[in-house]
Amino acid sequence: MRILDRYILKSIVTIFLGALLVFLTLYLVVDILGHLDEFLREKVSPLIIWEYYASFLPIIFVQTAPIAILLAILATFSKLNVNNEIVAMRSAGINIWQLTKQTVLFAFIVSIFIFWVNENIIPQAMQTSDKIKMEKIEGKASLTQKEKINNVAYFGKKNRLYFINSFDPKTLTMEGITILEQDKNQELKEKNYALKGIWKNRKWVFSGIQVFSYDKNGAETSEFIDEKTMDIPETPTDFMTQRVQVDYMNIRQLEDYKAKLADSGAKSVIRNLNVDIQQRFAYPFGSLVIVFVGLPFSLMIKKRKGMTFASFGVCMLIGFLYYLTNAISIALGKSDIFPPIMAGWLANVLFLIIGLVLLKKTS
């Protein structure tokens, strides 16, 4: 690596780590102050608070790392530009692409690391932090939930997958029920549709049932039943406490879950899963994409006075626009307006094009 590359990269890494530490600290301080009355009211011990926020750290890292690296690059190249070091380098025959290649490589490495953390640490971290918050801080369990639950999905006994449009814990009633039963080879053995199910005398009574059965050759037979007491071992508490949480899954688990839902007819859930999968792939590379947008703006900052504030302001603006665009595209994807791949990648592609165009004009 050239001395010049080390000089630029050292500044970027130093500012990135410093910004990351500041963001993590601010996030924790603001969150702790926001929940301080709750901690005091519930008499939560410092050990539990530490355990909760320790499990939350990977989540904070993933959320703040893209902004930290953008700020590091803006601050570094703005300073080089203000000190006329960029002019000196380009006078020596070094073009903008040669100046930024190590920066882009560092952003790419950070993106890969974010992807790895997202896949291997975040699902368990979210599950742990939610459990600590619910059971040890709020002092309640999920079975106390009384609000109607929509889109319940649950892996039950006898190799069954349940999908329920809505479940009301108050009346112990579920509507829009699909039950897929598989054999040991994960082949579909039986599929049940029911309009409604009520918990009576410790049994589930379904009404408006259509049963599809499949033999070893895949041949289908069906029958319609007005009302039936179902042989289902799961209780209302099971459906309340062990719902499938998409946030707790990595990409492989989401793909497996989607495959099991393929025959359920739950098109909206499958569409949402497809959008979530594309988003899991696309989000980590946002760190790399917004770097291309940030670089041209860093070269536009000419005055030493207010350079830090200008860099921070541009960083916040770019980050806000990127996350806003991403949130809108995800919402449109889950509303079936955008296809899943477009919903997941629109913000990245759009900002990459804008960044490359702006960077070309400054080169």
Instruction: State how far the Cα of 332 lies from the Cα of 324, in Å rounded to an integer.
Output: 12
- DSSP letter for each residue of 324-348: HHHHHHHHHHHTTSS-HHHHHHHHH
Distances (CA, A) of 205 to 154, 191, 255: 18, 17, 32
Distances (CA, A) of 38 to 32, 182, 331: 10, 45, 32
Query: How far is 59 from 222, CA to CA, in rounded Å?
Result: 47
- Residue 166 vs residue 303, higher pLDDT: 166
Quick one: average pLDDT of 98-121? 89
Interval 332-356 mean pLDDT:
92
CA neighbor of 322 nearest in space, from 63, 87, 115: 63
Indicate the domain borders of the chain. Answer: 3-134+277-362, 158-233
Q: Please return the burial class of 350, using the count of CB atoms within 10 Å of its CB with bins 0-12, 13-18 and 19+.
A: middle
pLDDT the model gives residue 142: 45
More confident residue, 264 or 57: 57
Nearest of 216, 153, 164 to residue 193 by alpha carbon: 164
- From residue 277, how far is each of 32, 193, 244, 334 by CA, in Å? 32, 27, 16, 12
**Phi, psi values for residue 208, rounded to 5°:** 65, 55
DSSP 1-16: --HHHHHHHHHHHHHH
Q: What is the mean pLDDT of residues 158-175?
A: 86
Residues 6 or more apart whose Cβ sits within 8 Å of residue 211: 190, 191, 192, 222, 223, 224, 225
Q: Give me the phi and psi of 306, to 5 degrees please.
A: 75, 15
129-138, 210-219, 301-310: range with lowest mean pLDDT: 301-310
CA–CA gap between residue 22 and residue 13 (Å, rounded): 14
**Number of neighbouring beta carbons within 10 Å of residue 221:** 9
Spatial distance between the Cα atoms of 121 and 206, rounded to a whole number of angstroms: 40
pLDDT at position 145 over 70: no
Strand partners, 154: 162
pLDDT at 17 over 90: yes
Which helix (H) or strand (E) element contains residue 221? strand 220-230
Q: Compute the mean pLDDT over every residue in the chain, rounded to the nearest whole number.
A: 83
The C-alpha atoms of residue 325 and residue 104 are separated, in whole angstroms, by: 22
pTM over 0.85: no
Residue percentage of the chain with pLDDT more than 70: 90
82-309-102-327 Cα dihedral, nearest 10 degrees: -140
| Per-residue pLDDT band at 284 (split at 50, 70, 90) | very high
Pairing relationship of beta strands 188-200 and 203-214 according to DSSP bridges: antiparallel
